[in-house]
Chain A
């Protein structure tokens, strides 16, 4: 979403323009859902959290700052809702990732959530490897490498410093490369 269009949409939201709300929803709904799906690995949960994310936007649209960046704003809300869900859930994020990988590698040939997500074999492998990366590193990889947020925006969404984000990215790339059996130009740890 380019800056001018984003500014126009934020202006519309702040002034109660329903068409602006629908436009934001149409444009960013798939990205919010995909982000949540990659965080939690469960389509039903991702759909619930996505709905709550859009309700939050509806409640706060009139009080958005004029310079609000919509994508990071929505990702921040979505991420916080997911974190909040984890706190109340008996399943840890690690266990969710393990379940996802088990589903991918041991389940019957029926369509799994990520088989729908990744049509071909290499994408399927990459999605499975990504799902196996621990939460905080996966979050950094998805925000920067998949969703193309700037490191500053991604750090803001994750609630960490840019330096911390850089470390998580490096560690996440190393873990992902290891899971995929690729050689790495260097190793980094957090």
Chain B
């Protein structure tokens, strides 16, 4: 490796020492996070073994249903705005 004239070795050493002095998540939050992630991980593993359920999850739960919900929300919002504006006239 070529010498880097901009490198400050004492500064780098001080920064490197910071890696040993970091707070962790508090135990309750850490455990909550682990459990939440494990639930998702276990669900993904369960879906892997059930191809039909996996397709349902990927196509309906993750894509179509949110799109339909967003679409219907937009429809009712426009309907509400038109109704209010008609009533105002």
- A and B bind: yes
Task: List residues of A (144-190) whose CB comes within 8 Å of B's CBs.
Answer: 145-148, 166, 169-170, 173-174, 176-177, 180, 182, 184-188
Counted as pairs of residues, one from A and one from B, with CB atoms less than 8 Å apart, the total is 125
State the main secondary structure of chain A at its contact with B: helix
Interface residues on chain A, number (Cβ under 8 Å): 50
Chain A residue, CB-CB nearest to B9: A185
Q: Does A137 contact B (CB under 8 A)?
A: no
CB within 8 Å for A34 and B6 given contacts A47-B29, A55-B40: no
Give B80 Cβ to nearest chain A Cβ, in Å: 26
B-side interface mostly: helix
Which residues of chain A are near B14, meaning CB under 8 Å? Answer: 122, 126
Name A's B-contacting residues (CB within 8 A). 16, 18, 21-22, 25, 29-31, 33-34, 37, 43, 47, 50-51, 54-55, 57-59, 61-62, 116-119, 122-123, 126-127, 130, 141, 145-148, 166, 169-170, 173-174, 176-177, 180, 182, 184-188
